[in-house]
Amino acid sequence: MPTGLSRQIVLSMAAVVLGVILLVILGSYAFYAILFNLWPAQAPVVGEWMPSKVEWLWMAVTTLAALTLAVAVAIKLSRRILEPLTSVADSLRDLAQGNLDVRAVADDRSLGEAALLVDDFNVMAERLQRVTKEQVFWNAAIAHELRTPVTILRGRLQGLVEGVFEPSELQFRSLLAQVENLARLVEDLRVVGLADGGHLQLQFSEADLALEIESVVQLLMPGLESAGLVPVLDLAAGNVRCDPSRIRQALLALLENARRHAVPGQVRIRTQVQHETCLLSVEDDGPGITDDIASRIFEAFQRGDLSRSREGAGSGLGLAVVRAIAQAHGGEAVCRRSPAGGTIFEVRWPSSSV
């Protein structure tokens, strides 16, 4: 227990009680003095209002008893006040030493502010523990994602140097594809990292969203066709305020996700503006996702059911990039099941984004 604060509480209570007693005694003397000077006929004889020895003894005993009671109450009160504060202080020292499992305790909830302090500290400790775990997970996930293209590049280049592989256009195209995958992964990591830190900068302009979407669809058409997917466009005419390059990036991630996971069929891409909200949606024909996966599908390194992927796991960052871009526009990204059993990904942002 921090004795300094406890001692101050006890001394303060004792001083208050002593002050009240002195005020009562001296106030009585002041009253009789004023009464004797202003209304002497009403005042008692001088000797009668002076305390006797017995009365002095009684005042001393009652004063001592009052001080004893005040000290006892102050000690009990200080313990009640200091117990949660001490718990928080001890927990802070443990937290500073790296023990993220520590939590403060407030057994007495009657002291509202002290109990609230304990609750706030525990919330802070839980968030710090969660952030630390997420950081460890992120470091491991990033290392895992970077390892695959780097290992392939190193193996291919080493094989070319040692003569295991013959230099050819096919080999160089394969190497270039790995470099592009690596560059895309680094860019996704950069976007998600900037968004988490609130530093993702956008270049807003009035853009024809229909033209931007058509250019992305044309770029991905060979890959979509090879996966048996047929794009169906339902695009609203007119300009929309957004960052065109980031919206293209978000649509690219959504279509790439459909190419990896959706069953052969249509991929419906729709845009509209209503109630001062811009909407971009991508809907496939299946196989759909569960509500549990839909609630966390936009988190980084979440891959859902890998058995539904044609090419194994992706980086797990594409949909996190979509959410980051939507939030940077002041909007949100939503995933839900379609009435037909497929999946709908929606990106919404206010048309007045600045």
Q: Which residues are within 8 A (CB) of 337 and not within 5 positions of it... i.e. 6 or more apart?
A: 288, 289, 291, 294, 343, 344
Selection from 168, 243, 259, 146 nearest residue 203 by Cα: 243
Q: Is the pLDDT of residue 311 over 80?
A: no
139: in domain: yes
* 78, two tokens: 């200080």
- Residue given tokens 């499992």 in the structure block: 101
Could you list the residue range(s) of the whole structural domain that residue 290 is in? 205-350
CA atoms within 13 A on the CB side of 317: 21
Percent of the chain with pLDDT over 70: 79
Q: Tell me: do 217 and 91 sit in the same domain.
A: no
Tokens of 197: 């830190």
Q: Is 105 among the domain residues? A: no
Q: What is the pLDDT of residue 306?
A: 43
Residues 257 and 222 placed together within one structural domain of the fold: yes
Q: What is the pTM of this model?
A: 0.59
Same domain, 291 and 234: yes
Q: Are residues 174 and 219 in the same domain?
A: no
Q: pLDDT tens-digit profile of 1-56? A: 445 556 666 667 777 777 777 766 766 666 666 666 776 665 555 555 566 576 66
User: pLDDT higher for 132 or 346?
Assistant: 346
Structural domains counted in the chain: 3
Size of the chain in residues? 354
Torsions phi, psi of 315, nearest 5? -75, -20
